A and B are shown apart, each in its own frame.
Chain A
């Protein structure tokens, strides 16, 4: 008990409380100079970059739900239906997860390069269209980053769904078949209800993880642009590019508060909607 408590305090609580404390001071480098109350928070809220980063982060969350959330569910369902080479496809689906994050981001940067000779642009040109700015296009950059993140992370999430799918008693499917249910009906009345607990948990985890998106825009857009900067990246820029560690700490606290609020709201709604609460 004691060693784990010591380690937990040292690695989790001390940095956490130090960060909160740092956010309440004027700073020089990482040194606290003078207590300034909520000044850092007010300054951060007034910064246009913060507002932009907050909106971008919400946009990341939105697209991750649209693109990244459904992909592993679909992958798991397809994989569950495959009869031959199941193991092979499972490994293939998981492989991107084993690629280091930075390497994956660099790989996708090459694919989404705005030059006419990049892979994606070559395909676009071959289809008779004009080359696109791709990752440099402010309207596309977040979507493309989410695609790269989904490619990297969907395999692991898919395995969780797959495990859940494989735990469904086959008699349910047999009964559904006997009742004349087609694939879509089996999906609706058997598969999805069984996946729901996982889906809801992974949904929250997905939102939490996407709210912390950091290195992808940094690597794929060479430090990030106004159109793609996330709250985490902004916090990093405050600390390491602007030497404003107080601002950085305040941004971190705000981000944590948003995530906590979201989680509490989710738990509240979940409780209200769950049958046990009725």
Chain B
């Protein structure tokens, strides 16, 4: 009898739990939108901003119920979250992720909803490329970034590279004739790094090398040595050239830098290291995205006026590119059409849509004010939408809030449209992973590593494991 009661009790608890969950859904007849981009609990200023947007939105669209569901995308947790159906309606990811998320059916097509709102032809083509498969769109870009060379101005002043060239009492990054004082080629980075290491305790530059970040940065370095990493051959098959002479030159440049101890120590440097190293004066330079300028400031109290962002260097022969990506908003496979529409409409209230309105204007201004109050550096953005009225609105608002000396960023933003280049089209993260291994091998044994052999291995692995599958 006792056992029977135990079993009965267990079953009752199980049944009640199920009923409880079902009841939750039926209780609220509004369309629920779970916002994964809602800020984490410790970001109180951001939460206040989101709550304001939420109240405005729910007033204008009473049929929707906005639910805060802070969600940080990471590879480790994502698959289980998606498989167990706990993804929020809309969330942020990285620009390289959508192809695999689409392939595995984790995110949904939102083309019809974008068309319904009249947003489809307003997307920036470069950013939209990674969100589009077979002419169907699976997300919208939140913002864009392009890679540049970030410099610790103080260190460059100390070693005499930056000085006040025009006599106005402010350090300049160009000379009297307007020529760059900062490194514009990899050879110049090498030379400047030697000076940095000789006269300061810092290293010249940080080269990331783990969690696909090494490959991510390396692909930009290799492009600027003239590399073509992936292309379709005459037979319409995808081929990779990770072992081309240009790639070898790029890896040999890293090897030379490491051999002379000009690079930050370590073999497996993750993403968080670049802002730690530059924010703590451990390196003078690093490659970083334009959307992440605030990282050393917010994480290491680095003085925002001591940062400089200049265009990516080249090899002096080939066209220099700036790897461009961004953060997209994507939508859970389980989201309904109505939820997607609601989430897209909410973007207007965040100032992240192409809609030009008082609401959007106020949201953009509020976003800037919040960033200002947090002491974050505010610089021009790479716009995710291309419609003229949207661009005009941004151009009107943005300059009012810029709180850095634009002299230190102007060259970067002036050249970015010509330099921007989107990431490689196929299995990008896997390609980065293979390149990570080659970089790690060079960093570990700079004196003996053979870049040609390492890149041959990387190319063979990438071709055999991924491109051959794709070409089947």
Which residues of A approach B to under 8 Å, CB–CB?
Answer: 1-3, 6, 28-31, 48, 113-116, 131, 133, 136-138, 221-223, 225-226, 239-241, 243, 245
Contact = CB atoms under 8 A, between A and B. Distances in A.
Contacts of A136: 266-268, 443-444
Nearest to A135: B268
Nearest to B75: A241
B238 interface: no
Given A223-B210, A243-B79, A2 B270 contact: no
Interface string B458-470: 0001000000000
A167 B437 CA distance: 52
B119 to A, nearest CB: 29
B1 to A, nearest CB: 13
A240 B76 contact: yes
For the complex of A and B, the 7 pairs showing the least CB-CB separation, nearest first, are A136-B267, A30-B83, A114-B266, A222-B270, A29-B104, A115-B265, A222-B210
Given A136-B267, A136-B443, 19 more contacts: A28-B104, A28-B105, A29-B104, A29-B105, A29-B106, A30-B83, A114-B266, A115-B265, A136-B266, A222-B268, A225-B268, A225-B440, A226-B437, A239-B79, A240-B77, A240-B79, A241-B75, A243-B79, A243-B104
B352 to A, nearest CB: 28
Contacts of A1: 3
A48 B440 CA distance: 17
B253 interface: no
Nearest to A30: B83
7 contacts: A28-B105, A29-B105, A29-B106, A113-B266, A136-B443, A222-B211, A243-B104
A30 B100 CA distance: 14
Contacts of B105: 28-29
A29 B79 contact: yes
Interface string B63-95: 000000000000111111011000000000000
Interface of B is mostly: helix
Contacts of A30: 79, 83
Nearest to B100: A243
B6 interface: yes
B7 interface: yes
Interface residue tally on B, bucketed by range? 20 to 34
Nearest to A248: B79
A216 to B, nearest CB: 14
Contact of B461 (A48, A240, A245): A48
B83 A114 contact: no
Given A3-B10, A136-B444, A226-B437, A221 B76 contact: no
Given A30-B83, A136-B266, A2 B104 contact: no
A133 B106 contact: no
Contacts of A114: 265-267
A223 B83 contact: no
B263 to A, nearest CB: 12
Nearest to B461: A48
Given A1-B3, A29-B105, A243-B100, A115 B78 contact: no
Contact of A240 (B7, B78, B211, B443): B78
Contacts of B77: 240
B416 to A, nearest CB: 30
Contacts of B461: 48
A114 B268 CA distance: 9
A29 B100 CA distance: 10
A52 to B, nearest CB: 11
A131 B265 contact: yes
Nearest to B272: A222
A240 B75 contact: yes
Given A114-B265, A115-B265, A240-B79, A138 B444 contact: yes
